């Protein structure tokens, strides 16, 4: 997932009041006297943030100063007596807000990766203020008049293609954000968006707390049978951090199905973990998110209607590749139908194992439930391929996976080298920093790797920019990858599942999209693309996790260094599509939920008490209500969709992008595989281009023909 800060390069989804906010508080004026490190560019390489110097109290005055500076810059554009031109309007707008963007990148990066209570409180306070600030820009009548004038003469300006694209994108984004509305409607839109921005922040913070407090506490270590010594040690360490000495804690991750469910032999404990996971946000009390969801959905529907769209999905999709809800639903329905058939076959195979075990034990068989699936799937995998996950984990040690897998494949494809910098400050001791250098030795980027789960960190995995690339501003990128791997007890190795290995490659695909960004303008740079294209490079990079040459380079035993035996290696490759019915169906079910919520008309959203019923009805209507396979995310903890991260009505993007990714995988195999020639072409035509052209044009230039869904169906074993 690409994390999108609220203020990422004129992110026009967060808007509020068209009247400029009041002047900054006096505290902002005195900030330089206090030595606020946010108010001047960092002296570190590539302006990497000085994390070690930051204090919670630095952020509020820095935001106030940044907003004040950008308001002055916008006023200068609007009041310029010269006729509107590319230089004095579009380029001036692109240059504006440098301080505010710098502060936003640092703050919102940290608020997801390592948030203090003070930061969380400030985040909620900032949401409506930043929305109001953005509206002071995007709903400014005088500013849009100048933008409109430049856009009207674009063909006569003689601009280079990237500059022409910037004009088109700025004009489209302003128009789509309500710049043409009447003054009265702008005020209505502002009120809607101020509340939306606050609610999105509240959902994210409530969901984070619910995930933390929903952790399962174990009093008898025997109940952890099936887990490895390293996993039990991590559970003990997690308990100790909470002051629960002598106990064990199974911390929750953001998805419905928790990784430990594949290994816990105690069925009652598996059920406890599953119910703790799925109960997040829907069990009443202060951590219930149903009220937030109901209000968010209604407000988004009202916003879409005000902007002239029948529903929020129609509004959101105009900026993506899919364009319409009908196109998304058709694709999801086709894929979901195939996945359901396969998942039912997988379920039948698992039920046979359950029945056979019950017969052997002379016990009554039970019906396969969601908390049983992963556990019995592991048994099925072992029976079919003669190996289980526990056999392969010793070959997936964290440091080797990155050094000899993730980084090594990037070296083979693009000539990159990675040098760890232990002298640069980070926000947590476990975070590592690497210089990323090109084949010619030039410094391309800094890369921060933040692997371990902690209570101050959001769930899931994501990439973000701490510094945006821009040739105009002379900036090279500082990129972060964030995972949520449980940290083991001291002295124990970090052994990954193959799913976690794949996630590492996925997020590094996002990182490459940022590292190789080579555009004039930050607002067109790197991952500043629609979600259904942003996920393309990340999913494409997953292919190298299982590519034989790459797998052979990193899959070595953590104690002996011996390569994974060829027989086991071949089984891992053969089992790539195992369980693809389940994996596809859980994803499609979640994507259909997202689409159902965002095709609601104004006034038709359920209240909080109807959220669960709406979810159930939507899955039933979509043909995805198959009890053993719950959605990857239930509504009440669906952070992608309800936390305002840019994936609302956009969760389908993963599968839409995967069509492009699997087509590209076939292209690589046909054009040299893991080779510099193939990698450099992909880099030059896709990874470096950002949104300097529209996504369909970029892909056509690279691939040479229209996308084909066939390789995706083959990859997932669905035909």
Residue 122 resides in a domain: yes
Alpha carbon distances (Å) from 19 to 129, 130, 131, 543, 715: 12, 13, 12, 49, 52
Residue where one domain finishes, among candidates 237, 258, 278 = 278
Same-domain status, 109 and 150 = yes
How many whole angstroms separate alpha carbon 528 and alpha carbon 512? 13
Residue where one domain finishes, among candidates 249, 278, 307 = 278
Q: Extract the tokens encoding 536.
A: 């393309």
Residue 619 resides in a domain: no
CA dihedral for 379, 381, 385, 389, sign (positive or negative): negative
Same-domain status, 112 and 224 = no
User: Which pLDDT band holds residue 84 (cuts at 50, 70, 90)?
Assistant: very high
Give the total number of structural domains in the chain: 3
CA dihedral for 154, 159, 161, 164, sign (positive or negative): negative
Residue where the block lists tokens 């994507």: 591
pLDDT tens, 397-417? 999 999 999 999 999 999 999
Residue 174 resides in a domain: yes
Q: Is the pTM of this model over 0.85?
A: yes
Residue 605 resides in a domain: no
CATH of the domain at 166: 1.10.1370.40
Same-domain status, 87 and 189 = yes
Residue 640 resides in a domain: no
Residue where one domain finishes, among candidates 233, 250, 278 = 278
- As a whole number, mean pLDDT of residues 553-566 equals 95
Residue closest to 458 by CA, chosen among 211, 106, 123, 127: 211
Residue 347 resides in a domain: no
pLDDT tens, 692-712? 999 999 999 999 998 988 888
User: Which pLDDT band holds residue 131 (cuts at 50, 70, 90)?
Assistant: very high
pLDDT value of position 358: 97
Same-domain status, 537 and 671 = yes
Residue 467 resides in a domain: yes
Q: Which of 507, 535, 542, 658 is catalytic?
A: 507
pLDDT tens, 619-657? 999 999 999 999 999 999 999 999 987 889 999 999 999
pLDDT tens, 586-617? 999 999 999 999 999 999 999 999 999 999 99
pLDDT value of position 26: 34
Same-domain status, 273 and 183 = no
pLDDT tens, 199-231? 999 999 999 999 999 999 999 999 999 999 989
pLDDT value of position 31: 41
Alpha carbon distances (Å) from 17 to 101, 103, 578: 20, 22, 51
pLDDT value of position 24: 34
Paired sense of beta strands 443-452 and 478-485, if any: parallel
Same-domain status, 244 and 203 = no
Rounded to 10 degrees, the C-alpha dihedral 156/158/163/167 comes to 0
User: Which pLDDT band holds residue 12 (cuts at 50, 70, 90)?
Assistant: very low
Same-domain status, 171 and 245 = no
Residue 672 resides in a domain: yes
Point out the least confidently predicted range of 37-46, 97-106, 365-374, 379-388: 379-388
Residue closest to 569 by CA, chosen among 396, 373, 403: 396
Same-domain status, 427 and 569 = yes
- As a whole number, mean pLDDT of residues 245-256 equals 95
Helix (H, G, I), strand (E, B) or coil at 313: helix
Same-domain status, 503 and 544 = yes
Same-domain status, 271 and 155 = no
Alpha carbon distances (Å) from 64 to 6, 30, 58, 295: 15, 12, 11, 29
Residue closest to 188 by CA, chosen among 296, 301, 306: 306
* Residue 271 falls in the annotated catalytic set: no
Same-domain status, 151 and 246 = no
Point out the least confidently predicted range of 4-8, 241-245, 332-336, 436-440: 4-8
Same-domain status, 82 and 137 = yes
Range of the structural domain that residue 42 is part of? 26-209
Share above pLDDT 90 across residues of the chain, in percent, rounded to a whole number:
87
């Amino acid at each position: 997932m690409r994390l999108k800060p609220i203020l990422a390069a004129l992110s026009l989804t967060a808007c509020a009041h068209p009247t400029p906010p009041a002047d900054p508080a006096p505290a902002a004026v005195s900030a330089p006297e206090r030595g606020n490190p946010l108010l001047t560019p960092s002296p570190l390489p590539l302006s990497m943030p000085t994390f070690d110097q930051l204090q919670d109290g630095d952020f509020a005055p820095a935001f106030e100063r940044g907003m004040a500076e950008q308001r002055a810059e916008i006023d200068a554009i609007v009041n310029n007596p010269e006729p509107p031109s590319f230089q004095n309007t579009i380029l001036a707008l692109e240059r504006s807000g440098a301080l505010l963007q710098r502060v936003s990148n640092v703050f919102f990066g940290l608020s997801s990766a390592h948030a203090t209570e003070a930061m969380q409180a400030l985040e909620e306070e900032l949401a409506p203020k930043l929305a109001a600030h953005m509206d002071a820009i995007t709903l400014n009548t005088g500013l849009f008049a100048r933008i409109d004038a430049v856009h009207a003469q674009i063909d006569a300006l003689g601009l280079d293609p990237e500059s022409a694209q910037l004009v088109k994108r700025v004009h489209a984004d302003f128009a789509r954000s309500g710049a043409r509305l009447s003054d009265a409607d702008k005020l209505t839109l502002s009120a809607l968006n101020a509340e939306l921005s606050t609610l999105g922040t509240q959902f994210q913070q409530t969901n984070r707390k619910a995930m933390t407090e929903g952790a399962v506490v174990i009093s008898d270590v025997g109940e952890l049978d099936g887990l490895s010594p390293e996993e039990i040690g991590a559970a003990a360490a997690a308990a100790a951090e909470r002051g629960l000495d002598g106990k064990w804690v199974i911390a929750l991750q953001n998805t419905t199905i928790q990784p430990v469910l594949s290994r816990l032999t105690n069925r009652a404990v598996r059920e406890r973990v599953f119910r703790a996971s799925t109960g997040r946000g829907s069990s009443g009390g202060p951590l219930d998110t149903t009220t937030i969801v109901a209000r968010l959905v209604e407000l988004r529907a009202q916003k879409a209607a005000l902007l002239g769209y029948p529903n929020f999905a129609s509004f959101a999709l105009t900026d993506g590749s899919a364009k319409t809800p009908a196109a998304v639903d058709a694709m999801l329905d086709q894929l979901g139908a195939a996945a359901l058939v396969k998942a039912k076959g997988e379920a039948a195979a698992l039920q046979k194992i359950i029945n056979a075990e019950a017969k052997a034990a002379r016990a009554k068989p039970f019906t396969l439930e969601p908390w049983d699936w992963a556990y019995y799937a592991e048994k099925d995998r072992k029976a079919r391929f003669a190996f289980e996950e526990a056999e392969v984990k010793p070959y997936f040690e964290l440091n080797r996976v990155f050094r000899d897998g993730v980084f090594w494949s990037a070296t083979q494809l693009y000539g990159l080298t990675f040098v760890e910098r232990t002298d640069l400050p980070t926000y947590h001791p476990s975070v590592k920093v690497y210089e990323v250098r090109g084949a010619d030795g030039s410094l391309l980027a800094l890369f921060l790797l933040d692997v371990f789960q902690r209570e101050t960190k959001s769930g899931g995995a994501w990439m973000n920019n701490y510094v945006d690339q821009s040739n105009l501003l002379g900036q090279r990128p500082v990129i972060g990858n964030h995972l949520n791997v449980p940290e083991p007890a001291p002295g124990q190795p970090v052994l990954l599942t193959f799913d976690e290995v794949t996630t590492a490659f996925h997020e590094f695909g996002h990182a490459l999209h940022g590292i190789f960004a080579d555009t004039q303008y930050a607002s067109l740079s790197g991952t500043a693309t629609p979600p259904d294209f942003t996920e393309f490079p990340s999913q494409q990079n997953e292919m190298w996790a299982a590519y034989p040459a790459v797998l052979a380079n990193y899959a070595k035993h953590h104690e002996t260094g011996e390569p994974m035996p060829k027989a086991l290696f071949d089984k891992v490759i053969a089992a790539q599509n195992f369980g693809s019915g389940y994996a596809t169906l859980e994803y499609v079910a979640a994507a259909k939920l997202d689409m159902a919520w965002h095709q609601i008309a104004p006034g038709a959203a359920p209240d909080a008490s109807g959220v669960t019923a709406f979810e159930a009805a939507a899955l039933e209507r979509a043909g995805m209500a198959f009890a053993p396979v719950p959605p990857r995310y239930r509504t009440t903890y669906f952070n992608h969709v309800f936390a305002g991260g840019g994936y609302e009505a956009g969760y389908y993007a993963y599968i839409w992008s995967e069509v492009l990714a699997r087509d590209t995988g076939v292209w690589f195999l046909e054009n040299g595989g893991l080779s510099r020639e193939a990698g450099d072409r992909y880099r030059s035509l896709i990874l470096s281009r950002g949104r300097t052209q529209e996504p369909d044009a970029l892909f056509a230039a690279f691939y040479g023909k229209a996308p084909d869904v066939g390789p995706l169906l083959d990859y997932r074993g669905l035909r």
